Every structure is written in C-alpha cells, then in structure tokens.
Structure 1
C-alpha cells in the first residue's frame, strides 16, 4: 500500500507540475504578446503623428535622400526609435541610423509586405549591428495609395526581454512555491485516500485468513467509506454464514461420532475422506491413519476391499454381510451407496452396521422357540402316550392305572409350571410387571424363605444356614425378592447331594468395603452357596439363558423348567442390581446378588 501511495503521490505531483508549467508558459506567452501589441499600438500612433506633422515628398530617390535622412534623425531624437522612410518600390529614402544609399531594397521585408497588404506590418528580427532583437512596425503613408511609400519604426526589445525575464523569474518562483504547496497537499490528499484503503486491505487480508470478526472503521460518507461499509456488510454476512457452517459441521460431526453405525466416505479416486468414531472401532484404525489415504492402505480383509472396488467401478448399491476378525470378531452388515453430486459420480458411502447382537438375538429366539416346542412336547407326549395306554385297556388294572394317572398328573403339573414360567418371563422381559418397593428387613425375610424350603431340604437332609446381622434393610419388591431367593435356594437344594449344605450370607457394603453393624451402607450383597455338583467353566457364561441346562437329564428329572435363573436375572435387573456366579466342579457354586439399598 505504501508503493500505491507513492505512485498516487507521483501521479498527482506530475499532473500538478504539468498543469503549473503549462499555465506558466501560457501566462508568459500571453504577457509577451500583450506587451508587443501595446508597443505596436504606441508605435502606430507615433507614426500617425509623424505623418501628420511632416510633409511627405515624392520624386527621384537621389533628390530625397537628404530630406528624409534629416527628418529620420530628428524624429529619432524625439521618439527614441529608429526611423526609416521607404518609397513604394522598396528603396530606402532615409534612415536614422544608416546611410540610405548603402541600404538594400526593403520591398521583401516581412513588415513591409504585411503593411502593403493590411496597412500595418510587424516583425521581430535580430540585429547583427546592435546584437539584439528589434521590433519593426511599418505603416502605409497613404492607405488609399500603397505606392506612395512606407514609414517604419524600430525599437530595441532588450528592455522588453529583460522585463519578460523578470516576469519569468517571478513566475517561476511563484510556480515553484505553488508546486511545493501542491506536493504537500498532494501527499496529504494521497495519504487521506490511501490510509482508509490500507485499512480496508488489512481487513480484507484478515477476512481472507478466516478472521471474520475484522471490521473497517468508517469515517465520513464518501465513496471509500461506502466501500468500507460494503466490506463490513460482506464480513457480517460471511461471519453469519461461517457460524452456520461451523454449527452444521459441529452438528454433523456430533451425529457422525454418536452414530451406532460406522460411516466411511471414499471419493472417486479411492481416497478416504471421512471416518466416524464407530467405524474406527469396527475397522481398528484411527481417522488420522486413514483420512486422505487410499482405501487399499486399510489393511482389512480381502472381501471388504473387493466390495469397495466393485462399488467404485460399478457405481451401484451393494450390500453384504461379512464376519470381521480384527480388531474383534463381529458380524457386520455392509451397505455401499454411490454418491451422485450434480449428476456426477463423487465416490461411495460405506455404512457398517454391527449385526452380531441382532443375529445372536435371532438365534436365541430360534433356540427359544425350539426349546419351548421341545419342552412342551415332552410332557404332552407323555400324557398322550399314557392316556392312550389306559384307553387301550390298562385302565382295568387298578395298580397300573393309578401309576399311569400319577404320571399324567405329574407331567400336567410340569407342563403347567412351564407355561407359567414362560408367561412370567415374557412379562418380566417386556417390563409389564409393576414393582411395589418397600423397606425389607433381610434377616427375617430370608429366614421365612428358608422355612418355606425346609421340607425340601429336610427330604434330602440338607442343612440351610443363614448368616446375617439383624437390622439390615433394603428397598425392594417383597414378592419379587422372595421369588429370587426361593429360586436360588431351590437350585442349591436340587443340585446338592443328600447331606450337603446351603449357606446364605448377607453383608452391607459401602463403596467396595464391607461395613460393620451401625455403619452407613449403600449396597447389599446376598451370597447363596451350596456344596453341590458345581458348574463347568465353559457353561458359566450361559447359565442365565433361557432353557439352558448344565445337566439336562437331572434338571428335567428334578422338575426344573430351565427358566428359573433367567427369571432371577431379569428380576434383579429390574431392581437395578446384578448377579454373579462362581463355581468349582464337584465343590459347589456361589451366587452373589448385589442390590442398591435405595431405589
């Protein structure tokens, strides 16, 4: 901008200098012409006076030389000018400064020729004799008779030249002062013009560098101020638009980062341009490693790279399910969609959906249906078979009939329990059972549950022991909590050999530490341990699944439906608690329930 200011100042100075010089030349020329015109007018008046006062004689030149020479000399002293008399043929009859007989014919002199044409003639010539410029003015003696003759006056222009020189000196000094003032004013004007332009330039550069808060300080109402206002308006619009763009980008980034599906965008050249957080987890690569690089550099399995390649080549929607083994095993549903922008192919969008849980749920649903069908079919088949046997004639045998009817009754009862458990589990899973929370004193509550199971325990000579301090309370639904305790006690008694032990331990917990009586606590741990057959390690992750049995034959023989532990787990989760299990084959199992004190 400084260079622009310099150029503008130089241009203004040059224009002013040329203007001042032109004006000076015009003024000097005008002054000189006006001065010469005034001299000419004076000389014409003098010549008219001379002609009016003297007698103009005509005749042969040799007879007139003396007369005109004396007159010329006399008039020179009066007019202080050189006086020359010329006849109609150009012969000099008399001259105040030279012998007329030695002078050339003056018919071709410019002032003489001009006088013959217009009555008065004027010219300026350099005098070799006087070494100075002379102004010659010639006039016809009788305009009606040009052949009569011509009178001519000549004066030195030395004084005129000196006067004009003085005028030029004064004019040049004045022009120089004017020039200096003009330069100063030009600099101020240029500075006044360029300073707001410099500010506008700085603001424009800041806006170019994405600083949309930059504004021009506007002073005045001229065109530059209007330009500053326009820049400010543009910056306001850009700032609003960029804030909207940043907001949209932030919202889009938030949506992409919080999507449960992976999103990968690949341009038409095969470069990865976008990778959300879920895609990073699924593919095992960070966006820093892949964005801007070719998709082939993502060291993933061959099937994925083939799908992307086919999508870029065919530019059509593709869908596949692929099992990924890195970074962990999972089943992914791949949707590859071509991106069309302004009727041009812009790349592909790859959407990765983890369907492992969905497929597992579908498998569990299928297994559940198969298990329900199998569990229902077994007692129905038994009832139908024994009923057919009785109808075939065995009813006449009282002992056989009683035995068969008892079996039919037991299977019907088992079928009823199975249907009841299925309906109960369905209601629990759909959360259609309201819980009525109230304070429960666990020592007496569990003691009552043990009494309800005492007959079953006594039948197998199993000792059930409760270890709990009095005054331990928990907020729970009493009926559902009893269902939890009874199911776990029943399992412990069922899978414990005769003469074994089942122990229930209740402990209050604060944070991660067990506390003593009288101290504050926020959790309750209820452990139910048995000395039964135990659970193999491979079966531990699945024991809370519906219809899953470790020992299928024994479970069915004990009257179990295979839904008890699944019901327990869901009821505990409804209480915002959790359940864990530890087991050693042949040594027994321990189920630990963790419940919050307050709901």
Structure 2
C-alpha cells in the first residue's frame, strides 16, 4: 500500500500543479492581452490628439526631400513626447516621415496589417517582430486627412494618409516574466505545502485500508481469528465492520464444517464395515480404516488412483468393475486373501446428485467369514446332534420292536435287550444334558457363582466319585495338591471341568495304567495363577487331531468313543468353562505314551465377573 500512498500524493500534486500552471498561463495571457489593449487605446488617443493639433505640411509630393525632412523631424519630436515611434505614411503607402529610420530606405507600408485595418474611419493594429529593431512591436495606425472639417486647418498644409505609432512590447514581456517568476516561486512553495498535506491526507486514507488489506490477507491464509480494529465511522469504518462480520461468519461456518468433517471421519474410521468410494472417473475417492484392514491397503497410496490398484483381489476388482459399468445397486459375496481367506459381502450403491447426475459408486464391505463359519458350525452341530441322537434312538427302537414282536423267548436275551435299551436311554439322556449345558454356557446364561474353594478337599471329593470306575480298570489315581491352597471359583463348574478331564483319562487309559492330578501355584507379572495338570498313561492323541479335540462332537476314534459312553461334547464344555473363569486350556500328547491336559486359572477372579 505504500506505493499507492506515494502515487496518490504525486497525483494530487500534479493535479494542483497543472491547475496552478493553467491558471498562471491564463492570467499571463489575460495580463498581456489587457496591457496590450490598454496600450492600443492610449496610442489611439495619442494619434487622435495628433490629428487635431499637428501642423501638417504639404505632402502632395511625398518623394521630395523637403517633405520627408519635415515629417521626419516632427516624428522625432513627437517620439520624445509620446515615447513611441512615430511614422507618417502617405495614402499610397509611401513613408514620408519616421522618427527612427530614413523614409527613403523604408518599404511601402500599404500591405501592413495595421494599415489595412485603418482603412475607413477605424484604426488598425498589429503585433509583429520588427526586423529593424529586433523585437516585438505593437503598431497602431489611424487614417488622417488634413482637409477634413474636424481637423485644425494649417495654412498651406495638406496631408492624406496615415499616422502610425509603434511601441515595443519588451516592457509587457518583462512584466509577464516577473509574473511567471512570482508564479513559479509560489508554485514551488505550494508544492511543498501540497506534498505535506496530500501525504497526510493520503496516509489518513490509506492507513486503515492497509490495515484492512493485511487482515483480509490473513483471512485468506485461513487465520479466521484476524479482526480489523475499527476506529472510525465513515465508509472505511463500515468496510472494516463488514470484514469483521465476514470473518465471524467464515469462522462459524468453518467450525461447523470441521465439526461435521471430524464427525464424518470418526464415523468412517470407527465403522465395523469397510467403505470404498469410486468416483465418476473410476478412481478411488475414499477408503476408510476398516477397508484398509480388510484389503491390506493404505488409503494415502490408493486414493486418487484407478480402482484397478485393487487387482490383487481379483474377485473384488471384477465385482467393482461390473457394478461401475451398470451403475446399479448390487449385493454379492466374494473371497479375498489377506493373508488368509476371508469371505466379504459387498453392497454397492450408485451416488447421484440432486439433478440426477452420476457421481460414482459407494461400496460397503462386510467381513462375513465368522458369520458363515458360525452358520456352517451350526449346520454341522445340528447334523452331529441329529446323528448322535439317531444312533441311540435307533437302537432303542430296534430292540424294543424285537421285544414287542415276541421274537425273544430266552429270558437272558430279553434281559440283555432291556439292558441295551436302558444304556442307550441313559446315553441319550447324558447327550441331551450335555447339549443343554453347552448351550447355556455359550449363550452366557450360566454366570459364575464364585466362592473360595479348598482345592485339596475339592479334589478328594472328585477322585472319590471316580474311584469305583478306576478300580474296575485297575487304574491308579494319584493326587499332588498343596494342603492349604484356596482358589476363588465356581465350585460346580470346576467339578464339571475336572470330572470330564479325569473321566477321559480313565476311559482312554488301558487297565493297570495311571491317572495323575498335580496342582502348583505360579506367580505371574500381573496376578497369581493356579496350574492344574491332568495326565494319564493312555493311548494318546495323534498330532493331527490335537488342534480339533476341543470341537463339539469331534472324536479321534469314533468307535472307541462310543463304546466308552462319551458324547463328544465333554472337552468342548471344559474349554468354555475354563474361558468363563478367564483361564487357559492346553493339551500335550504323544501317541501310545499318554496325554496331559493343563488348566491355568487365576487365583482370584476379577470383581467385574
């Protein structure tokens, strides 16, 4: 803004200077014209006075020396009186007398402007440069006729021609020059005064504008807290108030936009589903955090690039391509690998503007792998339950039909059939009970009822329950439990855990074998833990089956498991009950050498449980 202030000051000085110069020039012209006119009128009066009082001599022979001498002498006398050059000119333009030059050497003056103008009763005047005197001269001529009635008669005198007076304009020019000098001095002083005044005026005008401009520049740089300090109430002050109002409005709108953007970004970042937006140019416009995780990509690397950048997920890219081509809603499930296989449900929706213009496609990605796996497990569970229920029901039905038909006459055979029906019914009852128990545990309808449990007494009771079964197979039960150890747990659910584990050890250990229970306390970084190890000398579990033994209805040896009376749900129940206690369950086994199940439970349960 400073150059503008200087330019404004210069413009003001130039305007004033031009005005003064024009005014001075005009005044000079008026001065010169007025002074010249006054001289003309004076010279006219002087000529009229000469016409009335001058003693004219006979001038019928203008070329005679006597005539020229007479008029030249008289012209010289008159020049001293009028301070003007006097010239007598005959009617034919011949100069017969002059106060400064010899008439004989002078040209005919009939064609001079002042002579032409003096024809008749008027007077003529002209201003021109005199070659004789070398300066500008004012010439005034009047016609004279010595025989006219208004003139004084001079005996023997006769003159018919012109009297011309001329005066140098040097005095006028000198006065004009003094005027110009005075004007230029005044103009210089005026320039100094105007420079100071105009600078102060320009500064008063431009300073608030500079301040407003700086504030406007700050606002353009997104500094919306910048404000104009309004100190005046004129138009500039109103402009400052308008700038402040605009900044307030922008700041409010920007805050709203940022809040909405932050909310939108938070929603996109925390959505459980992935979002991929493809714009009208088929480039990736938006990828949220969940989509990055699902697809193994980074938003900043793919945004703005063609969706073909997702080419490593072939099925996904193909589906997007088909959807973008038809620009219609779509629903499909595809498989991706990142790094393991995932099943992704894609819902595509075309985005349109208010006027119906196409803006691109929005795709919602949902990982349905767990849902489909759960559905598969549910189907498998129903199939397994149906199969497990069908076997005892078929046995009961078959033996009952045989007995009802009267086909068995032997009492021993009949008793054997009835025992089979009883055993299958008992197995069916245990299967249904295990299914209901597992269902309650998985649906969180079996909360823990924790209380202090004396571990040594607890396992004496459990082993006492299983001792008769172990004695039948001549299996030794060993227990190594600290005497004073207490644990906070649900005693009934602990009983289910260890009866299942110890029963499995007894069932899958050959006669004469051993089942051992060992309890130790470990001091972890965050809390104390109790480690329960149930080991046997049984047939062991093949390594390929170890990852799946906690699945429902999974059996390593289906024929042997059914003969042992197992339902296939025991270890699954154990796994869920251990997790319900915030514990860990693991297994180690070697084929033909035996198996060890290890249960780790916290000594004290979390108060939130």
Q: Could you tell me the TM-score, scaled by structure 1's length?
A: 0.81
Q: How far 1:298 moved relative to its partner?
A: 4.2
**Residue 29 (structure 1) aligns with:** 29
Q: Is the 8 A contact 2:455 2:487 kept in 1?
A: yes
**Residue 175 (structure 2) aligns with:** 163
**Residue 128 (structure 2) aligns with:** 125
Q: How far 1:361 moved relative to its partner?
A: 0.6
**Residue 560 (structure 2) aligns with:** 554
**Residue 390 (structure 2) aligns with:** 377
Distance of aligned partners of 1:121 and 1:236 in 2 relative to their CA distance in 1, 3 Å threshold: farther
Answer yes or no: is 1:499 the counterpart of 2:512: yes
Q: Which moved more, 1:199-208 or 1:524-533?
A: 199-208
Distance of aligned partners of 1:147 and 1:538 in 2 relative to their CA distance in 1, 3 Å threshold: farther
Please list, as runs of the form range in 1=range in 2, the aligned pairs for 1:385-534 lying within 5 A after superposition.
385-393=398-406, 397-512=410-525, 521-534=527-540
What CA deviation, in whole Å up to 9, does each residue of 1:520-577 have, x standing for no partner? x443333333333333222223222222222322332333222222223323333333
Q: How far 1:430 moved relative to its partner?
A: 1.8
Q: How far 1:166 moved relative to its partner?
A: 1.7
Distance of aligned partners of 1:189 and 1:136 in 2 relative to their CA distance in 1, 3 Å threshold: same
- SS of the aligned residue for 1:307 comes to helix
**Residue 604 (structure 2) aligns with:** 597
Q: Which moved more, 1:572-581 or 1:236-245?
A: 236-245
Please list, as runs of the form range in 1=range in 2, the aligned pairs for 1:253-268 lying within 5 A after superposition.
253-268=265-280
What CA deviation, in whole Å up to 9, does each residue of 1:118-166 have, x standing for no partner? 9666542333333222334567899xx9998977654322122112112
Q: Is the 8 A contact 1:88 1:146 kept in 2?
A: no
Find the aligned partners of 1:147 and 1:283 in 2 and give their Cα distance: 130
- SS of the aligned residue for 1:26 comes to helix
**Residue 575 (structure 2) aligns with:** 569
Find the aligned partners of 2:497 and 2:79 in 1 and give their Cα distance: 155
Distance of aligned partners of 1:491 and 1:16 in 2 relative to their CA distance in 1, 3 Å threshold: farther
Distance of aligned partners of 1:391 and 1:245 in 2 relative to their CA distance in 1, 3 Å threshold: same
Q: Is the 8 A contact 2:489 2:581 kept in 1?
A: yes
Q: Is the 8 A contact 1:92 1:101 kept in 2?
A: yes
Distance of aligned partners of 1:582 and 1:220 in 2 relative to their CA distance in 1, 3 Å threshold: farther
Distance of aligned partners of 1:593 and 1:117 in 2 relative to their CA distance in 1, 3 Å threshold: farther
Q: Is the 8 A contact 1:135 1:154 kept in 2?
A: yes
Structure 1: gaps of 5 or more residues: 514-520
Q: How far 1:589 moved relative to its partner?
A: 2.4
Q: How far 1:288 moved relative to its partner?
A: 4.6
Q: Is the 8 A contact 1:368 1:546 kept in 2?
A: yes
What CA deviation, in whole Å up to 9, does each residue of 1:466-495 have, x standing for no partner? 333344343333333333333333333333
Find the aligned partners of 1:495 and 1:380 in 2 and give their Cα distance: 26
Find the aligned partners of 2:78 and 2:104 in 1 and give their Cα distance: 19
Please list, as runs of the form range in 1=range in 2, the aligned pairs for 1:162-311 lying within 5 A after superposition.
162-183=174-195, 208=220, 210=222, 212=224, 220=232, 227=239, 230-311=242-323
Find the aligned partners of 2:204 and 2:267 in 1 and give their Cα distance: 52
- SS of the aligned residue for 2:370 comes to helix
- SS of the aligned residue for 2:534 comes to strand
Q: Which moved more, 1:275-284 or 1:118-127?
A: 118-127
Q: Is the 8 A contact 2:531 2:598 kept in 1?
A: no
Q: How far 1:360 moved relative to its partner?
A: 0.9
Find the aligned partners of 2:575 and 2:123 in 1 and give their Cα distance: 138
Distance of aligned partners of 1:236 and 1:497 in 2 relative to their CA distance in 1, 3 Å threshold: farther
Distance of aligned partners of 1:473 and 1:186 in 2 relative to their CA distance in 1, 3 Å threshold: farther
Q: Specify which of 528, 540, 547 is matched with residue 546 of structure 2.
A: 540
Find the aligned partners of 1:83 and 1:265 in 2 and give their Cα distance: 110
Q: How far 1:365 moved relative to its partner?
A: 0.6
Q: Could you tell me the TM-score, scaled by structure 2's length?
A: 0.80
Q: Is the 8 A contact 1:110 1:121 kept in 2?
A: yes
Q: How far 1:376 moved relative to its partner?
A: 1.8
**Residue 581 (structure 1) aligns with:** 587
RMSD (Å), alpha carbons: 4.2
Find the aligned partners of 2:543 and 2:267 in 1 and give their Cα distance: 42
Q: Which moved more, 1:361-370 or 1:128-137?
A: 128-137
Structure 2: gaps of 5 or more residues: 152-160
Distance of aligned partners of 1:532 and 1:239 in 2 relative to their CA distance in 1, 3 Å threshold: farther
Q: Which moved more, 1:75-84 or 1:355-364?
A: 75-84
What CA deviation, in whole Å up to 9, does each residue of 1:231-289 have, x standing for no partner? 55445444444444444444444333333333333344443343333333333343454
